Amino acid sequence: MNRPMLESTRQMVTNHLSVSPLVLPMQRVLIATLIYLLTAAPSFAQSSFWRDSSGKPVPETESMKSKNDFAGSLLATTDENWQQKWDTPPETKPHFIRADIVPYGKKVYILIFFANPKLDENGKASVRCDLRMIAPTGKVSVEQKDAKCFAGPIQGNQYNLRLSAAMIAFSGDPGDPAGVWSAEVVLRDTVRNVELPLRTTFTLK
């Protein structure tokens, strides 16, 4: 299947954390269970809010927001094969395991999703993001500013949920503090001039 791809850029690695722009397929409708804490079945409809499988609006959360018709969400997953699950035909519905309590040495992947970025006069979108991982002590363990999440034309339905090129991979080392770790992302539609501050957590134990 011919799908738009992002070009690879430099991978930044800091100890046990990495912020990685990857080559990923971008046109994909995400199944509901991925977004709403794996309990409901929301999808981004052609409006400014999230809806469940029956079309009813669902409350936004700190990890799932929209503003001025631009939407974004975060998911922390322990699936090692998350990319293989995503890189399948659009009619296939991937199921992801949401990270909750994570043992030391187990990798957690922070995936960033967006929908309906505005196009410029050349028909291209530009989505940037700032990424941070924060320890239970409040210390910022890794930070990257203005990473490229998406750049280029949008193929297919603009309301389809798309996977960002940037992501965070985390693995707790023995010296890392136990407790609640936070991933924070500011997702920015630069053409629309809209920002979505997103946050998700997991517990290292």
One pLDDT digit (tens) per residue for the chain, 205 residues: 222 222 222 222 222 343 343 323 323 333 333 333 222 333 444 444 677 767 788 889 999 999 999 999 999 999 999 999 888 876 777 788 899 999 999 999 999 999 999 999 999 999 999 999 999 999 999 899 999 999 999 988 888 889 999 989 999 999 999 999 999 999 999 999 999 999 999 999 9
**Which residues, including other chains, have CB under 8 Å from residue 60's CB and lie 6 or more apart?**
49, 50, 66
Residue 58's pLDDT is 82
Q: Cβ(181)–Cβ(202) under 8 Å?
A: yes
Q: Cβ(127)–Cβ(194) under 8 Å?
A: no
Residue 118's pLDDT is 96
| Of 110, 106, 102, the residue nearest 178 (C-alpha) | 102
Token digits for 133? 């991982």
Q: How far is it, in rounded angstroms, from Cα 51 to Cα 42?
A: 5
Residue 156's pLDDT is 83
Residue 197's pLDDT is 98
Residue 12's pLDDT is 26
Is pTM beyond 0.75 here?
yes
Q: How far is it, in rounded angstroms, from Cα 140 to Cα 163?
A: 24
**Which residues, including other chains, have CB under 8 Å from residue 181's CB and lie 6 or more apart?**
133, 134, 135, 136, 170, 172, 201, 202, 203, 204
Residue 96's pLDDT is 87
Q: Using CA atoms in the order 77, 197, 35, 126, what is the torsion angle rounded to 10 degrees? A: -100
* Coil/strand/helix, residue 186: strand
Q: How far is it, in rounded angstroms, from Cα 58 to Cα 65?
A: 11
List alpha helices for 32-101, DSSP H.
Answer: 32-35, 82-86
Token digits for 100? 């909750």
Which domains are assigned to the chain?
12-204 (2.60.40.3880)
